[in-house]
Amino acid sequence: MQYVKQNGTSKLTIKTKLISTFCIVFILLLLLFSHSQATIISLSSSIDLITELRVPTQQAGNLLKGGIEKSQVALTSLIISREKAFQLENEKIWKFNIGNSLLDLESLSKR
When divided into structural domains, the chain yields a total of 1
Which range marks the domain in which residue 58 is found?
3-109
Q: What is the pLDDT of residues 48-105, one digit of tens each?
A: 888 888 888 898 899 999 999 989 998 899 899 888 888 898 899 998 889 989 888 8
- The rounded distance, in Å, linking the Cα atoms of 9 and 3 is 9
User: Residue 41: what pLDDT?
Assistant: 94
Q: What is the pTM of this model?
A: 0.55
pLDDT band with cut points at 50, 70 and 90 for residue 19? very high
CA distances to 27, 34, 35, 36, 73 from 41, in Å: 21, 11, 10, 9, 48
**Helix, strand, coil percent values for the chain (each to nearest 5):** 85, 5, 10
Q: Does position 30 have pLDDT exceeding 90, yes or no?
A: yes
